[in-house]
Amino acid sequence: QAVQGAASGSSSTNVSGGTIQQSVVTTTSGGAVSNQTSASFSLATGTTATTASGQSASGTLSTSVSFFSNASGSGALAFPGGFSPTVQNVGGTSSQQSMTTAGFANVTVTDSGGNRITQFSPPIPLSVTIPASTINQAEGRTIQNGDQIQVFSYDESRGVWITEGTTTVSGPDASGNLTATYMTGHLSTWNFGYSGQGCSSGTFSLNRNGNSGAITLRAASADGSWVSSEIVVASANSSFVVSGAPTN
C-alpha cells in the first residue's frame, strides 16, 4: 500500500552475458512530498549482475527504488522490524539495539526471467537525501556537512539489520537537505541512521478525566527518526515509561 511521505521510481537496461550494456540511473520521481528527499542508484556499463546464487542476469533488467523519509510518521511506521531490532555489528555479534533512520530505501532489480538480481561487481552507488532536521545521534545535534552516518542492510530471511559501515554526509543542497552515498555490491533494504543501546525515557503522567479504559499510544522523536512500539497503559494506571528510546 502507498505510504504517505514515500516516493518511488523505476527504469530499465539490457544485459548480455551477465554484463550491463548501457548505464542507467534509477531515482525516485520528485522526491518524498514532505521535504523533497529522494533516493537513487546507478548501474554503469560493464558492471556484472548476478543472483545471490551466482546466476548471471539475462535480457532486460527492470530496476526500482522506493524511499521512505523520516519526516513522515507513516514512513517511520513502515520501517522493517521496528526501531528496537536485532542488529549485527561489523564484528559479527548481534544484539537488540535502538535504531533511528535518516531515511531508508528499498532497491530491487529483476531480469527477463524474473530472477532477483542482488550482486554487482564493481560495487554500485546508492544515494539518499537526508532531511536537515535529522539528529546526529553520536553528537546530539542536527546533522551537518562532513558528519559520519551509519549504513545498514536488512536481512529479510533473519529479520536482522546488518551494520555495513559508515559514510560521510555532504551538503546542504538548495532545499537545505544533505546527501549520503554508499558503494554496495549487493541489494537489500538500506537504512542510513544510527544504532546503539537505548534508554528509558522518564516517567510520563496521564491526566485521566474519569474514563476508565486502557490507552494505547506510541512515542516519536521530534525529527521523526524513531517511533516506539505500542505502549499500553492499563485502565488502573496513570503513568508510563518509554523504553528503548535513542540516547539523545
pLDDT of 68: 85
pLDDT of 138: 85
pLDDT of 71: 72
Contacts of 85 (CB under 8 A, 6+ apart): 96, 97, 99, 159, 160, 161
CA atoms of 64 and 42, how far apart (whole Å): 11
pLDDT of 239: 87
pLDDT of 66: 87
Contacts of 133 (CB under 8 A, 6+ apart): 71, 142, 223, 224
**Among 72, 56, 149, 74, residue whose Cα is nearest residue 111:** 56
pLDDT in tens, the chain (248 residues): 556 667 888 899 988 888 999 898 888 865 555 556 788 889 999 999 998 888 898 889 899 888 887 776 667 778 888 888 889 988 889 998 888 898 898 888 988 888 888 889 999 899 998 888 888 988 888 999 999 999 999 998 899 999 999 999 998 888 888 999 999 988 889 999 999 887 777 888 888 777 678 888 888 887 778 888 888 888 887 888 888 888 77
- Check: CB of residue 151 under 8 Å from CB of residue 165: yes
Beta bridge partner(s), residue 121: 48
